[in-house]
A and B are shown apart, each in its own frame.
Chain A
Amino acid sequence: MEKFAYIRAHSAGEAVTLLNEPGLKSSVLGGSTDIMLLLRHDAYYCDRLVDISLIPELHLIEQMDGRVIIGAAATFSEVMQHPLIRSTAPVLEQACRTVGAVQIRNMGTLGGNVINAAACADSLPALICLDAHAHILTSEGEQSLPVSRLVTSPNRTLLPPGGLLVSLSYAIPTTGSRSAFIKLGRRNAMAISRLTVAALGRVDADGKIIEARLVTGSATPRIERLSAVENLLLNQFPTENLFALAGKTTVEEMIRLSGRRWSSEFKVPALEAMTARVLAQVFPTGEAA
């Protein structure tokens, strides 16, 4: 007797119909790297898996009306190798590059990483740094909301029951913007993130910071842009002192949002240094340039 059934959807619309078929608890199967682990612990987690991983439209990565749209079933490998992502969002390319190893990146999907919504998901800080939106298809129609609102807390999202995350999109950052992502794990590959920092920004003709976005991962219960840090950076000239101050403020924000924990002893100095380092990549200082 099989513990669950399997069905392959051929379009996003068909997948939503299958997910909403009454009398069956259906669940989405994307890259399978998270769900295979879940099924080991709870083989009766659902009645049927609806496989969306082979739907061509959900793998598309394209540019439309000043936005980059990424199909939810695009794998980490597909995202990080795509010229459009590499040219417009190094922060996302670098985040995808740090996920697992080749085997996981070839199967795991960007949409799955978002909906699984692990506190340590590598793509989330990058997507939220890009102010990415999630596009969801339900039996009622389409809806969109910012990724930062979709993911409410670790492993929780506002995805409606029977809904399918179809794509993610972000506005192409203004010309001259730079972005970067840094991950701290126990080793370079195959490591769950202990901390991540994503940043994006640009300077004006005089070299003054006119845009700054900073997001941390594995540091706070809800992944969001840290406006206290961003405001500190705005209208300033990039210097190592400024980055060090931003590092201190980032740490204060982490403690304010997460409280002191067993890991704070280690995370405080690490996050402080990582923040300064990522900002130095985004805003080359006069000294370095």
Chain B
Amino acid sequence: MKYQLTLNGKPTEVEAPGDISLLSLLRDHLGLTGTKEGCSIGECGACSVLLDHKLVNSCMVLAAQANGREVITIEGICPSDGSPNDLQDAFIRYGAVQCGFCTPGMVLAGEALLAADPQPTRSQIREAIAGNLCRCTGYQQIVDAIEQTAQSRRERRGHA
């Protein structure tokens, strides 16, 4: 079937089977391999993307359900020059990335939280990333990175 969606801000068209997951559409048919396949059963969050600005597991969404809608993947959140955005940069500075497999999903979970709540508490940050498993870091550094980014974004907005 023919898919038409707004992908990372750009109108996108692609021909692909109608019985695949959004994850497969992104990785196998659109070449966006930043979104990772972990468990494929909605438990690890490595495949997290934003569908109409809401965080979802792309392995649990039928690609056809996303047709005509807006999808944002990890490839869509960085500045146009391709450098990391402030949250990704904080992940690097705080040591929140080790093997990196959970990172794209983790960053998008962080972005979804910060879009809804610019001043989350640490326990709200933990709740927001509860659907994203990380087997390396122990989460502490990830919570630090999100918390610090929330603070610096607030400060920037305050000065603006």
Task: State in angstroms the CA–CA spacing of A4 and B42 once bound together.
Answer: 21
Residues of A within 8 A of B112 (CB): 102
A228 within 8 Å of B by Cβ?
Answer: no
Contact of A2 with B42 in the complex, beta carbons under 8 Å: no
Contact of A107 with B60 in the complex, beta carbons under 8 Å: yes
Task: State in angstroms the CA–CA spacing of A188 and B130 once bound together.
Answer: 9
| Interface magnitude class on chain B | 20 to 34
Give residues 38-56 of B contacting A (CB, 8 Å).
40-43, 45, 48, 51, 54-56
B90 within 8 Å of A by Cβ?
Answer: no
Contact with B along A34-65 (1 / 0, CB 8 A): 00110010010000010101100000000000
A3 within 8 Å of B by Cβ?
Answer: yes
B107 within 8 Å of A by Cβ?
Answer: no
Task: Give the distance to chain B from A3, nearest Cβ to Cβ, in Å.
Answer: 5
* A36 partner, pick from B21, B45, B55, B109, beta carbons under 8 A: B21
Task: State in angstroms the CA–CA spacing of A106 and B58 once bound together.
Answer: 12
Task: State in angstroms the CA–CA spacing of A188 and B132 once bound together.
Answer: 13
A288 within 8 Å of B by Cβ?
Answer: no
Contact of A49 with B62 in the complex, beta carbons under 8 Å: yes
Contact of A4 with B59 in the complex, beta carbons under 8 Å: no
Contact with A along B117-160 (1 / 0, CB 8 A): 00000000001101110000000000000000000000000000
Contact with B along A1-20 (1 / 0, CB 8 A): 01111101000000000000
Known interface pairs A33-B60, A37-B42, A43-B19; A103-B131 also in contact (CB < 8 Å): yes
A101 within 8 Å of B by Cβ?
Answer: yes
Most buried by A among B56, B67, B127: B56
* A102 partner, pick from B61, B64, B128, beta carbons under 8 A: B128
Give residues 63-114 of B contacting A (CB, 8 Å).
64-65, 67, 109, 112
Residues of A within 8 A of B54 (CB): 77, 106
Residues of B within 8 A of A101 (CB): 45, 130-132
| Interface magnitude class on chain A | 20 to 34
Task: Give the distance to chain B from A231, nearest Cβ to Cβ, in Å.
Answer: 38
* B61 partner, pick from A37, A54, A100, A107, beta carbons under 8 A: A107
Contact of B57 with A5 in the complex, beta carbons under 8 Å: no
A29 within 8 Å of B by Cβ?
Answer: yes
Contact of B42 with A103 in the complex, beta carbons under 8 Å: yes
B17 within 8 Å of A by Cβ?
Answer: yes
* B19 partner, pick from A2, A54, A188, A189, beta carbons under 8 A: A2
Measured CB to CB, the nearest residue on chain A to B44 is: A190
Task: Give the distance to chain A from B103, nearest Cβ to Cβ, in Å.
Answer: 16
A264 within 8 Å of B by Cβ?
Answer: no
Task: State in angstroms the CA–CA spacing of A190 and B126 once bound together.
Answer: 12
Task: Give the distance to chain B from A54, nearest Cβ to Cβ, in Å.
Answer: 8
Task: State in angstroms the CA–CA spacing of A51 and B66 once bound together.
Answer: 11
Task: State in angstroms the CA–CA spacing of A3 and B17 once bound together.
Answer: 9
Task: State in angstroms the CA–CA spacing of A3 and B40 once bound together.
Answer: 18
Contact of B131 with A104 in the complex, beta carbons under 8 Å: yes
Most buried by B among A43, A188, A190: A190
Task: Give the distance to chain A from B132, nearest Cβ to Cβ, in Å.
Answer: 8
Give residues 84-127 of A contacting B (CB, 8 Å).
100-104, 106-107
Task: Give the distance to chain A from B79, nearest Cβ to Cβ, in Å.
Answer: 26
Sample of 6 more A-B contacts, CB < 8 Å, known A100-B42, A101-B132, A103-B131: A29-B65, A37-B41, A102-B109, A106-B51, A106-B54, A189-B127
A residues engaging B (CB < 8 A)?
A: 2-6, 8, 29, 32-33, 36-37, 40, 43, 49, 51, 53-54, 77, 100-104, 106-107, 188-190
Q: What are 20 of the A-B contact pairs (CB < 8 Å)?
A: A2-B17, A3-B19, A4-B19, A6-B65, A8-B67, A29-B62, A33-B42, A36-B21, A36-B42, A49-B64, A54-B65, A77-B54, A101-B131, A102-B131, A103-B131, A104-B57, A107-B56, A107-B60, A107-B61, A189-B130
